[in-house]
Amino acid sequence: MGILERKIRQKENMRTNILAVALQLVKEEGWQSLSIRKIADAIEYSVPVIYDHFENKEAILFELSMDGFRLLDRLLEKDKRKYDDPEERLRAHAETYWNFAFKNPEYYQLMYGLGMPCSSPGKAKPEFNSFREHIAEAIEGIVKDNKSSEDETCFKIYAFWSVLHGLISIVMMRCSDIDDSQMNKKVMDDSVNAFIKNL
């Protein structure tokens, strides 16, 4: 229906349009039911034009996940500018990560492969470790007075990330029987507190 009308409304960057539409569809119906044909329908072009801009469906998901990493990274950078004290900054990072996950569950699931195509096990994502690097900086700042070995510090970084990611996963997949999101956040806060106290 839209093919003729479309020619009047001009194109503008088709690539970003495809991504925007794909994200929209994912938000509406979940990434599981995202299909090339639906995207084509939504941008009012035929199917093959999508393959002029993306190698395949996985490339679209990949690009979307990169957008997610970039968005998260921007938020973490803001924390960094706001807080000088490493402990405060670490707390802020945790909060930011948590909020990001629940305000953008589609992104989070795509980024960390929580219930989707096996697109995520991507080694070639540099942004992948952005969060780890941010908390690493903060943790090293807290810990630098102690005489922690390099390994110990590295371990702590993963441990911290794990608590957050694990809790988010469990809550997101409704494994938790705690319905109250306030409560869930409190579990997170408690864990962060215990972690910091133990540094």
Write out the residues near DNA by the rule CB under 7 A. 3, 7, 10-11, 14, 33-38, 45-49, 51-52, 56-58
Stretch 103-142: interaction string toward a second copy, x if CB under 8 A: ---------xxxxxxx-xxxx----xx--x----------
As measured in angstroms, the least distance from the Cβ of 52 to DNA is 7
Spatial CA neighbour of 76 closest among 93, 89, 94, 90:
93
Minimum CB distance to DNA smaller for 19 or for 192: 19
| 3-state secondary structure (DSSP) of residue 8 | helix
Token pair recorded at residue 91: 């707390």
Token pair recorded at residue 194: 């215990």
Minimum CB distance to DNA smaller for 38 or for 125: 38
Q: What is the DSSP string of 22-67?
A: HHHHHHHH-GGG--HHHHHHHHTS-THHHHHH-SSHHHHHHHHHHH
As measured in angstroms, the least distance from the Cβ of 130 to a second copy is 11
Within 10 Å of residue 107's Cβ, how many Cβ atoms?
21
Minimum CB distance to DNA smaller for 15 or for 165: 15
Tell me which amino acid residue 37 is. R
As measured in angstroms, the least distance from the Cβ of 3 to a second copy is 33
Q: Is 178 in the site for a second copy (CB under 8 A)?
A: yes
Residue 155, binding choice from a second copy, DNA, none, Cβ under 5 to 8 Å by partner class:
a second copy
Q: How far is CA 109 from CA 28, 65, 78, 157, 188, in A?
A: 14, 9, 23, 21, 19
Q: Is 162 in the site for a second copy (CB under 8 A)?
A: yes
Sites for a second copy among residues 8-67 (CB under 8 A): 30-32
CA distance 184 to 159: 19
Residue 120, binding choice from DNA, a second copy, none, Cβ under 5 to 8 Å by partner class:
a second copy
Q: Please give the DSSP secondary-structure letter assigned to residue 166.
A: H
Q: Contact residues for a second copy (CB under 8 A)?
A: 30-32, 112-118, 120-123, 128-129, 132, 151-152, 154-156, 158-159, 161-167, 169-170, 173-178, 183, 186-187, 190-191, 194-195, 197-198
